[in-house]
Amino acid sequence: MSGASLGVAVVGAGYWGSHLARTFYRSDEWDLIAVCDLDLDRAAALAGLCGAKAFGSLDEALDTVDVDAVAIATPARTHYGVALTALGAGKHVLVEKPLADRWDKGADMVRAAQEGGLVLMVDHTYCFTPVVQKMRELLLGGELGDILYVDSVRINPGLVQPDVDVFWDLAPHDLSILDFVLPDGLTPDAVSAHGADPLGTGRDCVGHLSFDLPDGAMAHIHVNWLSPPKIRQMVVGGTRRTLVWDDLSPRQPLSVYDCGGQLPMHGGRRSRSALERGDGSGDRWSPALPEREALGQMVGEFAGSIRSGRPSTSSASSALRVLRVLEAAGRSLQRDGAQAPIDAGTNAVPGSARQSGSVRQEAGA
């Protein structure tokens, strides 16, 4: 495979599937061969734009054309069945987030890929953006000092999804980003979630998710389908610097606030000895970011992972860590927001030597 393009079939010709198909079509690494959708007219329309063949099902495509990989952009509840069909046919698989609608299904998918010697990658697109990669560089390099808190807001006027609530729809973005940029990855022991369904849709449309980070720090994620303004912002506060990412600011998406002064005094002693943090008076600067298209980087990483046999940046192991947090959030919601521990059975990544601790080697650091 070192020289030739890799053949791919895209399953799902909707909003995200069309983005994937066009990105594969434009990539020198890939040859888009098939587009599959239950709506054959929709598949044909997209396939015609990209010089591919249209099929009403993945089974039909696999019986007709030869591909190296399958990219899945269908509802979360279908990922399990479609992925196992592709893996069973010996094809590498890229799956839209989340990996599956349950952790145990995701674990089965990981096992099937490992047993077949195949790449199973999750489309955590944000991890391939220049801004998130710079955040990772700053955090892993210790530029922020010790992490004190993470505060993330992802709200917008959106459609109520037919198969998932707002946590499963929006929070995977923030969780996958945190797993990618935090020095210890996404390793909470428990989570707390509060949700609301003020419109009576049958699923939470507004939600708050929080969990502890190492050394007494805390992460909070706010998700909302009902907000008229769209806000995509993450703040990571450290003992030396604070990082602010505004995803809707095209000119200056990332700002870093330098710190000056010590932590405030409480009762005659410092609340956290020997640690410095900003008091708002430090300098603010914006790192230079390269111009790169995230989806193009993502499909390139998928090809590189297949060719080299190495885990991808957004590996299925990372996706399983996201799923276990989402499942714990569901248990917390059932307990009216009471803290829910992470299921001990989800700590082990199937077939992997890594069962806890740092995720740096998986991400190629």
Assess whether 163 and 300 both reside in one domain. Answer: no
- Inside any domain, residue 193: yes
Q: Are residues 152 and 222 in contact, defined by beta-carbon separation less than 8 angstroms?
A: yes
Please indicate, yes or no, whether the overall pTM of this predicted structure exceeds 0.85: yes
- Inside any domain, residue 351: no
CA distance 40 to 174: 34
Whole-number pLDDT of residue 313: 84
Does an H or E element contain 258, and which?
strand 254-258
Q: Are residues 226 and 206 in contact, defined by beta-carbon separation less than 8 angstroms?
A: yes
Assess whether 284 and 341 both reside in one domain. Answer: no
Examine residue 157 and say whether the peptide bond preceding it is cis (omega within 30 degrees of 0).
no
The DSSP secondary structure of 4-31, one letter per residue, reads SPEEEEEE--SHHHHHHHHHHHH-TTEE
Assess whether 37 and 93 both reside in one domain. Answer: yes
339: domain range? Answer: 6-126+295-346
Backbone angles phi, psi at 303, to 5 degrees: -65, -45
Query: pLDDT digits over 255-276, tens only?
Result: 999 974 345 544 444 444 444 4
- Region 300-310: mean pLDDT is 93
Output the domain CATH number for residue 110. 3.40.50.720
CA distance 146 to 58: 48
Q: Tell me what the pLDDT averaged over the chain comes to.
A: 88
HSE of 341, CA atoms in CB hemisphere, 13 A: 4
Q: What is the tally of structural domains in the chain?
A: 2
Does an H or E element contain 155, and which?
strand 147-157
Question: Which of 24-38, 80-94, 131-145, 160-174 bottoms out in mean pLDDT, i.e. has the lowest?
Answer: 160-174
Give the model's confidence band at 194: pLDDT under 50 very low, under 70 low, under 90 confident, else very high.
Answer: very high
Assess whether 21 and 111 both reside in one domain. Answer: yes
Amino acid at 254: L
HSE of 117, CA atoms in CB hemisphere, 13 A: 3
Assess whether 122 and 136 both reside in one domain. Answer: no
